[in-house]
Amino acid sequence: MIPSNIAAIGNEIAILWSDSTETYISMEKLRAASPSAENTGEQDLLGKTYGGTTQKEYPGVTVKGWNIVGNYAIQFRFSDGHNTGLYPFHLLRTLGSGA
């Protein structure tokens, strides 16, 4: 599945997928779920995690824009300056399903 259309509607991102499924994700939830090293940290070969954050809530953060990355992800730009997370399409579908 790939996005056919993406729109910011209120405080949510709406994604229409190529199979006609629609996904709605709050901008706050999207920011909290960023798969970036800034959020999740980085692991060495032994599995030790360096960096990351314990912050889980981002009240008032909004999405300012986005770019499609290849045929697999979307990079969002947030009002708090965060823009390094690449959200694979499968992650976005999961976030939108309420999981």
**Residue 43 reports pLDDT greater than 70:** yes
What band does 6 get if pLDDT is binned at 50, 70 and 90?
very high
Judge whether 28 and 57 are in contact, CB under 8 Å. yes
Each residue of 46-95: pLDDT tens digit? Answer: 888 888 777 778 899 999 999 999 999 999 999 999 999 999 999 999 99
Two tokens at 78?
A: 């947030």
DSSP SS3 for 1: coil
What are the residue boundaries of the structural domains of the chain, listed by start? 3-96
| Alpha helix positions (H), 33-87 | 37-40
3-96 CATH: 3.30.2020.30
pLDDT at 98: 58
Two tokens at 35?
A: 């798969």
Two tokens at 65?
A: 């824009």
What band does 22 get if pLDDT is binned at 50, 70 and 90?
very high
Query: Is the pTM for the entire model greater than 0.85?
Result: yes
Helix (H) or strand (E) holding 89: helix 89-96
Of residues 10 and 51, the one with the higher pLDDT is: 10
